[in-house]
Amino acid sequence: MAATDLERFSNEEKRNLSLGGHVGFDSLPDQLVSKSVAQGFSFNILCVGETGIGKSTLMNTLFNTTFETEEASHYEYAVRLRPRTYDLQESNVHLKLTIVDAVGFGDQINKDESYRPIVEYIDTQFENYLQEELKIRRSLFNYHDTRIHVCLYFITPTGHSLKSLDLVTMKKLDSKVNIIPIIAKADTISKSELHKFKIKIMSELVSNGVQIYQFPTDDDAVAEINSVMNAHLPFAVVGSTEEVKVGNKMVRARQYPWGVVQVENESHCDFVKLREMLIRVNMEDLREQTHARHYELYRRCKLEEMGFKDTDPDNQPFSLQETYETKRKEFLCELQKKEEEMRQMFVNKVKETESELKEKERDLHEKFEHLKRIHQEEKRKVEEKRRELEEEMNAFNRRKVAVETLQCQSLQATSQQPLKKDKDKKNFFSLPSSCSITSGRYVN
């Protein structure tokens, strides 16, 4: 279709036509309902509140059943998220309910980082959904959606004010999840104190800019009840799975020596209001808000972080394909740059090692030359010594020969002149007083 045709087509006014008879598309809502019912629903609740505040009891009371519960210890090293999923059925409606407990919340000495695991858990569920959405073969139809639809924030019934941990945590969570604040164990606080406490909490939330979930007032069918209920926030609730006989009826209540607190009695606590608002009236809105507001925000930030935009710098629509191509080019350039850097680094390293090796070789050579010189010197000295010794030996031998010659001559003379022998002998052996023979060597 040409561009001008398209423009004309979109500018054309829609006309209302009346039908001549029954066509049948009025059954569309019913088709939707039966399809949704067949598919089933999922609802995920996050319970944040200090250990032992009554989270599990309230969940059991809300869904009128007994979920697996495991008491948390007060010695958790850090806050830990524990999800449990249950399949529930009421009439023909199947509900996949996930209850996530923030185990160990408020038990650490340093609570600065207490909110972090909760935020990370919520983001991980968004990320999982986003990854499924971005898949080529996605199966969102039967995907188990684990995104948190509501956070029930349990406030300790001190009657004073919110703790800084409450304010910090709610502030960190308010852009990621629908928060419904509730005052837990409301039976431990008097009626007048509770009234003041509620006002105080709401003013603290407002002054700290914490956005809590507001029951929607745009649908006429529920606008009135929702706006009335908004004024009752935070709900002061009591939980109990104990059944107590009141009149001739068994009711869920907490029994004390002085009386009975009935969970479902609206003059005793706001439990019924919470159940109405959370389950019977606004469950679908909570699911919708999670997808349309919180998940959209996460998705937008995530895609922008990845470099995707809807418009280019000239405010022109930007296609995903173009963004992808630009990113790919940027990535390849970056990769090339990194490769070049690595190559240069390798060359430098080789050069460095080479010069180190050359230096070492030079050192070794110098050492070798030095040792060689020492060795030659030693050899020369030994040679000299040997020569001296040889000369000494030669001198000795010469003297020895002279002595032996003399001895021979004297013996010959003795045999010719026996008389003269003694005399000559005497003369021969009477050497000058300055001469003597020691160990066969003549010493002057």
Residues 6+ apart with CB under 8 A from 28: none
Cα 86 from Cα 286, distance rounded (Å): 19
Rule CB under 6 A: is residue 55 a binding residue for ligand GTP? Answer: yes
Number of residues assigned to the chain:
444
Binding residue for ligand GTP, selected from 62, 72, 152, 229, defined by CB under 6 A: 72
Q: What are phi and psi of 436, to 5 degrees?
A: -150, 160
97 binds, among ligand GTP, Mg ion, none (CB under 5 to 8 A by kind): none
Q: Using omega within 30 degrees of 0 as the cis cutoff, is the peptide bond preceding 234 cis?
A: yes
Q: How far is the CB of 105 from ligand GTP (least distance, A)?
A: 8
Q: Which residues bind Mg ion (CB under 5 A)?
A: 55-56
String of DSSP letters for 62-100: HHTS-----PPPTT-SS-EEEEEEEEEEETTEEEEEEEE
C-alpha 296/C-alpha 310 separation (Å) is: 14
Closest residue to bound Mg ion by CB: 56
**End-to-end Cα spacing for the chain:** 140
- Options 54-62, 172-180, 282-290, 320-328: segment touching ligand GTP (CB under 6 A): 54-62
* 247 alpha-carbon distance from chain centroid: 56
- The window from 49-57, 128-136, 140-148, 171-179 that contacts ligand GTP (CB under 6 A) reads 49-57
The residue with its CB nearest to ligand GTP is: 54
Token representation of residue 30? 């019913």
Q: Does 169 bind ligand GTP (CB under 6 A)?
A: no
Partner interacting with residue 253 (select from Mg ion, ligand GTP, none; CB below 5-8 Å by kind): none
Residue 239 is a binding residue for ligand GTP (CB under 6 A): yes
- In this chain, which of 54, 106, 181, 234 binds ligand GTP, going by CB under 6 A? 54
Closer CB to ligand GTP, residue 176 or residue 268?
268
φ/ψ (deg, to 5) at 316: -95, 145
Distance CA 294, CA 284 (A): 15
Q: How do 243-246 and 249-256 pair as beta strands?
A: antiparallel
Are 261 and 254 in contact by the 8 Å Cβ rule? The answer is yes
Task: Give just the sign of the alpha carbon dihedral 145, 146, 148, 149.
Answer: positive
Q: Token match 């926030």: residue?
A: 233
Q: Is 159 in the site for ligand GTP (CB under 6 A)?
A: no
Question: Hey, which residues between 363 and 422 contact ligand GTP (CB under 6 A)?
Answer: none
Instruction: Assess contact for 234 and 300: CB atoms under 8 A.
Output: no
CB of 53 to ligand GTP, least distance (A): 4
Q: Which residues, 74 to 103, sit near ligand GTP by CB under 6 A?
A: 101
User: Least distance to ligand GTP from the beta carbon of 176, Å?
Assistant: 22
Count of residues near ligand GTP by CB under 6 A: 16
| Binding status of residue 262 toward ligand GTP by CB under 6 A | no
Shortest distance, CB of residue 331 to ligand GTP, whole angstroms? 47
Among Mg ion, ligand GTP, none, what binds residue 54 when CB lies within 5 to 8 Å by partner kind? ligand GTP
In the complex, least distance from residue 100 CB atom to ligand GTP, rounded to whole angstroms = 12
Chain residues that interact with ligand GTP, rule: CB under 6 A: 51-57, 71-72, 101, 185, 187-188, 238-239, 254
